[in-house]
Chain A
Amino acid sequence: MGWGDFTSQGISSIYFCLNAEGIQTEISILNGSVAQFRDSSDLFWCAPAQTPLLNRNQKHTMRHLLLLSVFHFAAALAAQTVISGVVTDRSGEPLVGASIFIGGTYDGDFSKEDGSFEFSTSAGSEVEVQVSYLGYNTHSIRAEVSELKNLEIVLRETITEMNAVTVSASTFKAGDNSKVAVLKPLDIVTTAGSVGDVFAALQTLPGTQANPEDGRLFVRGGEARETNIYVDGLRVFTPYVRTIGGSPTRGRFSPMLFKGVSFATGGYSAAFGQALSGVLDLNTTDVADQTESNLNFMSLGAQVGHTQVWKDQSLSVNASYINLAPYTELVPTTRLQWLKPYSGFSGEAVYRRPTQNGLLKVYVAADDNDFRLAQENLDSEALDTIGIRNRNLYANASYRGFISEQTSLFAGASVGFNRDDLAIESAPDLQQNLNGLHARLSLKTIWSDRFTADYGLDYLREYDNQTSRHGEFVSSRDLGRSQVAAFGEFNYFFSKDLALRAGLRAEHIGLLDQLSLSPRLTLAQKVSKNGQVSAAFGSFTQSVGADLLFAEPSLAQERAEHYLLNYNLKAGKHILRLEGYYKKYRQLASFDGSTPDQSETIGSTGDGYAYGFDFFWRANQMIKNVDFWVSYSWLEHERQYRDFPTSATPSFATRHNLSLVSKIWMPGLKSQLGVTFNLTSGRPYENPNTVGFMNERSPAFKGLNLSWAYLLDPQKILFFSVSNVTGFRNEFGREYGNELNANGLFPSRAIRPNDDQFFFAGFFITLSPDKAKNQLNNL
């Protein structure tokens, strides 16, 4: 039987091998698997049958054999060289089961209990020995075969996001599984009181001040405009829906289009600029998995969505119509006197297309809505009517991909067009336009698992126009501004327990023709298996708002410095975060008089500070089927805010903020109950009838929200929610008229939520043409 016959037997019938003389023998099988034999000048080996074909006896015999070194079949017996050594980690502990191989050959071994290995090879001269072990960096040695004896190989643990210290520990993440992720993707939808709004869900995290009558994000004493919102790293210029004072706004985005959220309440990366307090980056989903449609019927309107998946591209579209009229008819609890209840259309689309080494994404959102209502005028006691129509278009396109083994490129641009038409009875009609453009080009180079660098360019252009019409009289003003920024930042891991991130951002502000430099620094140290401490410093700048620039275009950039100390623990069912911070404000715009336009002294002389402490604890399944989190923020804040005559705490900054959020899964009822409780200390407000400034405090705000989601089946969900179930009478301070009344006092009224309670009901249906099921139906 020659070798030809032998191979022609195929894998299923090789029960024997040939010995050197070409005589068949069964030794090889009993030997574990491999025999080597010589046929004239050539060497062959053969193997036993596939395991299923082994009989019991053979299996039994084989159990006694050590198979760790089964790969000892070399190409030629003639020049066998033995390679040996031991594999350990950095602390000298042996690594068991590491694989040691000669590149390009089958010659190798796996390390034993004591980390040792030994095998022979016929490879001559210089070879490359590769040593690999899951979770460790592959080590290779290039040397003469004869020198590869008693090797002492030390493998270094690979630094991964899972095992290493996290440099962005002061950022809240949702949706991914990193150690700093505190929210799950579903939390945005299922947190009672959020009703599917990203911003409302984020307000249950520490570092934010609950402003339930406003709805925007207020971070650590910063006003809402100090927190910038991004979609896929590109700026959104008008992220919030237009509402009337007293009714909370919502985000313009539907949360289901996003796979993750990254929310930094301070000390963020040099990649972000023009934000004094916070950065929120929303990431759209990378790939859609299957074609499906969504139909949502809500007490406020209806929504349809469809995702179409082609071979690898996909498109998701979403359209919704909201009309508050039926709700206001059914639940006439509102204090607002609607003349035309809020109604509007909105639509979104996401297109994704993978390329060979990257991904192209396009996101477009448009909406158009309006409302009209009557509001009491404190001075005249008459009713003023206010009508607002808002139209908004936002689009962004980005590409992310590898341009070389080590370097990935991000290129993207966003544009936003926003138009508000305001018709207020006793005032001229006003049209406000804001157009914006943001372009970004950045590179990330991964030098090794310990050293990465990000660097790039940012271009931002904003254009504001305000036109007022009063009969024949039309006045218009506009303002364009642009800035160019360059940033560079590196992450360096001294070990998996200690890491440094250092960055610098340089911005050139067109209006001022001025260059500003903002350094950022974070140092993170792992203090236990699951716990870490990080300290951060950062300098941040932001241009003042358009209303101030219209009055004085040369106003300097406002500045803030952040100092943070953070402790982060993620262990088992628990996530714990503690963070102390100090924020110093400088060069704040301030003016006297009631508006910047009428001010005689307008300048950048204001300063301020904020310091405080954040606490966050989340425990999932500590109590069976219960997931809850507690967040508490303590804030001390004073600043020279706009027309403040002195430094004081603005009305949006509250000292104590507490949120308790819990979600209880009731398997028997196929339901999830959500309970959220908020407690916020009183708001500062100014009472012109007393001496002093901003000395009054409103009563504490309390709210208990409930939601109930009932899963009819995997694709149908019934959802109800009620805010402020117990009907607390909340107040956000008082507002005062401009003219003294008969008692010589300024008239006042309490600022109350427009709706003490809010009810919501929805029925969400997913329709997927599940071809899998059809296929299974053929059975």
Chain B
Amino acid sequence: MTGRVWKYGNNVDTDGIIPARYLNTSEPAALARHCLADLDPSFAAGVRPGDLIVAGANFGCGSSREHAPLAIKACGVCLVVASSFARIFFRNAINIGLPLLEAPEAAAEIQSGDNLKFDDQSGVLTNRTTGRTWTGRPFPVFLREIIEAGGLVELTRRRLADEEVRRP
């Protein structure tokens, strides 16, 4: 995937990602229309599939609303890079299959508008504007299982089905 970078600062909160006034639905396409509405009103109209969000520390802090990663994913964002993630946002993104890369150096160096390529198989991120590359820390085995299954629901479905088969 290749795309353009939308860069933000530290402590991007989930009210900034999807204000609660739009949480009267969980329809991803409807959420995408208001993604980052209060933080960057130009984002929702300008974002293209394959684009990336790059931000500082504590991305996704605040509420547990899964609507936040859902809105970002529904915009076609292929990867969120941050120097750190808030823990509930991190869980939610893994659980719904929104790729994340925790990479403080990349988050600091990448600039708004840079053109980036992300290889989701190798985890290598290339800044095509500057030529720099980064590789994120690999996730622990269990998180990789969730990601490879296509999310926590898929993994759970599969495990429950296996249990059914094993049951005499």
Instruction: Indicate, yes or no, whether A interacts with B.
Output: no
